[in-house]
């Protein structure tokens, strides 16, 4: 069994890229041609079915075009869940398409609950729910997921346990949104909350380290607050960092100074809208526009 | 448009009950007869489809039996998500069944993300995702959801905005799991984190108050830490509290002393396993056992 952190490191080294492409499909912003194709099939597939098929079409087209440029992809579950059961199926297909390209998939779910419920969330994301005939079900087959630390370590344990089967997780520390400051930067007995979370991550990840020296228990730390990103890195020298906030959310390559660690960068930088909707600025086919935008981002970050 | 808090207050008063039944189906613990019925249909429905149908059968049977005893129900999304698209459909059917009995439904999803993503989660839970033909989709049609405060107020705003259409939310404060202490009770500049969250809830809910005097922005506060539950109530005199931790998690009626507020109790107490699996202790049909366990819990809490 190859550990998640080793699969991600191998992908980064092979593609010489730390770009993580966020797949956040918004029906209103998809190309007109795609929308028209699937709108014509609403009678046959239903409203949710047609919208979900449109997402699958858009996302698999993107992934095919990005397979040499992106280190990994990060579908955002919320955008799929809006379309109910067909949306969930579309998300499963997106994961499968990425796996056909040997692209690791971080499913962005930001889940966590008490332990027995987190076990079920882990089964939903990684597989393992019991079937009626004594087997187990495949779930979304994510390589890794994002999780929320508010419930504490016992709420994350069922995800952490799955690391030994090749899965990974990224725990929120300082998120990229403006409101992240509100609780996350509060001083908690001499150390800000987001670094208390980093301490928890260090503890949870210490025994889950791969051949490249990275832990399977990573951290989400936004590029929109570079000095806090640096503080997370200082607290977690061996964790993979998932860095959102690049592109549409405003951060640039300078925010990443000093974040690299180890032989395979030790971080991936997520951009969603600035890549998947690049055709709206650049014109042309959405797939080639996305590949060009991702390649520019890869080159702007450099360092590999 | 009736506000969520008024619908919940009306249900409490009509049923003279503050019992919230958590629908957390675990395939291994369902009645053998139900399991056999649906196991026989795996060939036709598929493994996930048969398991999800078994959940629907179990949950709708429970809800029919509990409709006079429970103030509301709280399906736990994780247990349904394990079964993928059919699981999501089962969850939709559970919500619909409760609505046929005019039972408010709190879908326990514990979501939150940056604003644009939380908007999509709110559409998944409350409806409103755009369709390809200019309409919107119904989503799960939850009356209320649980949300996680870690991302701050801007991550909750898209849920809060939906209150003005009759929806509600319950924000985690001090959760019922042992690990909840780890971050939630940290002293944050003179006030524990969970009370910082309570302050955020008070702010978000101040303009969303119904005719009964309760806000649509409620709080989750576990019964397993009664003195902290009392502190949450002190910080939020007008919020509905969703109190987990009763029954299988260990708390009893004494934990609720002083929590009542206003004309309709101002809180609901969740129990899941001790009600939905009551037949395993009591014998007999799972539905009548659940109704009897819920009625005992209602009477043990009393006060209405």
Per-residue model confidence as pLDDT tens digits over A226-238: 899 999 999 999 9
pLDDT for B265 equals 96
Please provide the size of chain B in residues.
Answer: 304
pLDDT for A204 equals 98
- The pLDDT tens digits for B32-45 are 999 999 999 999 99
pLDDT for B251 equals 78
pLDDT for A266 equals 97
pTM: 0.98
Nearest to A132 among B42, B152, B176 (CB): B42
Cα(B291)–Cα(B275) distance, rounded to whole angstroms?
8
Let me know: does B167 contact B139? Beta carbons within 8 Å: no
Q: Which residues contact A117 (CB under 8 A, 6 or more apart)?
A: B24, B76, B78, B79, B108
Cα(A216)–Cα(A209) distance, rounded to whole angstroms?
6
User: What mean pLDDT is predicted for residues B172-182?
Assistant: 94
Residue B254 falls in the annotated catalytic set: no
pLDDT for B246 equals 83
Q: Does domain A4-17+102-301 have CATH number 3.20.20.70?
A: yes
pLDDT of A156 higher than 90: yes
Cα(B113)–Cα(A175) distance, rounded to whole angstroms?
9
- The pLDDT tens digits for A71-81 are 999 999 999 99
User: What mean pLDDT is predicted for residues A123-127?
Assistant: 98
pLDDT of A248 higher than 80: no
Scan for tokens 């309709």, then name that residue: B264
User: What mean pLDDT is predicted for residues B73-96?
Assistant: 98
Q: How far is CA A281 from the centre of its chain?
A: 24
Q: At A147, phi and psi to the nearest 5?
A: -135, 160
- The pLDDT tens digits for B202-247 are 999 999 999 999 999 999 999 888 999 999 999 999 999 999 988 7
Structure-block tokens of residue B67 = 């409709």
Cα(A79)–Cα(A27) distance, rounded to whole angstroms?
9
Is B49 within 8 Å of chain A by CB?
Answer: no
pLDDT confidence band for A276 (50 / 70 / 90): very high
For B4-301, which CATH class?
Answer: alpha beta
Cα(A233)–Cα(A235) distance, rounded to whole angstroms?
5
Cα(B71)–Cα(B106) distance, rounded to whole angstroms?
11
Identify the helix (H) or strand (E) that includes residue A157: helix A153-161
Structure-block tokens of residue B69 = 């005893």
Domain boundaries along the sequence of chain B: 4-301
Cα(A165)–Cα(A186) distance, rounded to whole angstroms?
36
Nearest to B51 among A27, A132, A187 (CB): A132
Residue B132: list chain A partners with CB under 8 A.
Answer: 27, 35, 38-39, 42, 47, 50-51, 54
CA torsion sign for A47, A53, A55, A57 is negative
Identify the helix (H) or strand (E) that includes residue A116: helix A115-126
Q: In the 3-class helix/strand/coil scheme, how is chain B assigned residue by residue?
A: CCCHHHHHHHHHHHHCCCEEEEECCCHHHCCHHHHHHHHCCHHHHHHHHHHHHHHHHHHHHHHHHHCCCCCEEEEEHHHHHCCHHHHHHHHHHHHHHHHHCCCCEEEEEEECCCHHHHHHHHHHHHCCEECCCCCEECCCCCCEEEECCCCCHHHHHHHHHHHHHCCEEEEECCCCCHHHHHHHCCEECCEEHHHHHHHHHHHHHCCCECCCCCEEEEEECCCCCHHHHHHHHHHCCCEEEEECCEHHHCECHHHHCCCCCCCCCCEEEEECHHHHCHHHHHCCCHHHHHHHHHHHHHHHHCCC
- The pLDDT tens digits for A6-50 are 999 999 999 999 999 999 999 999 999 999 999 999 999 999 999
In this complex, do B183 and A196 lie within 8 Å of one another by their Cβ atoms? yes
User: What mean pLDDT is predicted for residues A108-124?
Assistant: 97
Q: How far is CA B49 from the centre of its chain?
A: 24
Q: Which residues contact A33 (CB under 8 A, 6 or more apart)?
A: none
pLDDT for A254 equals 87
Residue B135: list chain A partners with CB under 8 A.
Answer: 47
- Give the best residue of A26, A82, A220 to mutate against chain B (max B CB count within 10 A): A82
Q: Which residues contact B134 (CB under 8 A, 6 or more apart)?
A: none
pLDDT for B104 equals 98
pLDDT of B304 higher than 80: no
Mean of per-residue pLDDT scores for chain B: 96
Cα(B18)–Cα(A43) distance, rounded to whole angstroms?
44
Active-site residue (options: B16, B101, B110, B273): B110
Active-site residue (options: A93, A96, A99, A110): A110
Q: At A214, phi and psi to the nearest 5?
A: -100, 150
pLDDT confidence band for B302 (50 / 70 / 90): confident
Nearest to B188 among A48, A180, A187 (CB): A187
């Amino acid at each position: 069994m190859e550990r998640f952190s080793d699969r991600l490191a191998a992908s980064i080294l092979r593609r010489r890229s730390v770009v993580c492409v966020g797949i956040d499909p918004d029906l209103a912003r998809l190309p007109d041609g795609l929308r028209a194709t699937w709108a014509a099939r609403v009678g046959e597939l239903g409203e949710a079915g047609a919208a979900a098929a449109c997402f699958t079409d858009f996302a698999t087209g993107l992934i095919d075009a990005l397979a040499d440029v992106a280190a990994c992809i990060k579908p955002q579950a919320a955008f799929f869940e809006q379309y109910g059961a067909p949306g969930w199926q579309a998300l499963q297909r997106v994961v499968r398409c990425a796996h056909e390209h040997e692209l690791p998939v971080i499913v962005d779910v930001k889940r966590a609950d008490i332990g027995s419920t987190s076990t079920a969330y882990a089964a939903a994301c990684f597989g393992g729910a019991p079937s009626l005939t004594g087997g187990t079900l495949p779930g979304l087959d994510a390589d890794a997921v994002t999780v929320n630390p508010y419930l504490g370590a016992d709420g994350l344990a069922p995800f952490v346990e799955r690391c030994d089967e090749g899965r990974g997780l990224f725990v929120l520390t300082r998120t990229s949104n403006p409101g992240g400051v509100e609780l996350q930067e509060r001083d908690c007995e001499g150390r800000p909350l987001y670094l208390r979370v980093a301490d928890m991550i260090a503890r949870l990840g210490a025994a889950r380290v791969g051949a490249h020296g990275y832990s399977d228990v990573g951290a989400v730390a936004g590029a929109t607050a570079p000095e806090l990103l640096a503080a997370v890195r200082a607290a977690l020298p061996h964790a993979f960092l998932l860095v959102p906030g690049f592109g549409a959310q405003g951060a640039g390559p300078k925010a990443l100074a000093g974040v690299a660690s180890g032989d395979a960068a030790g971080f991936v930088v997520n951009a969603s809208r600035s890549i998947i909707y690049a055709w709206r600025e650049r014109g042309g086919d959405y797939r080639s526009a996305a590949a060009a935008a991702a390649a520019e981002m890869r080159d702007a970050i450099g360092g590999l």
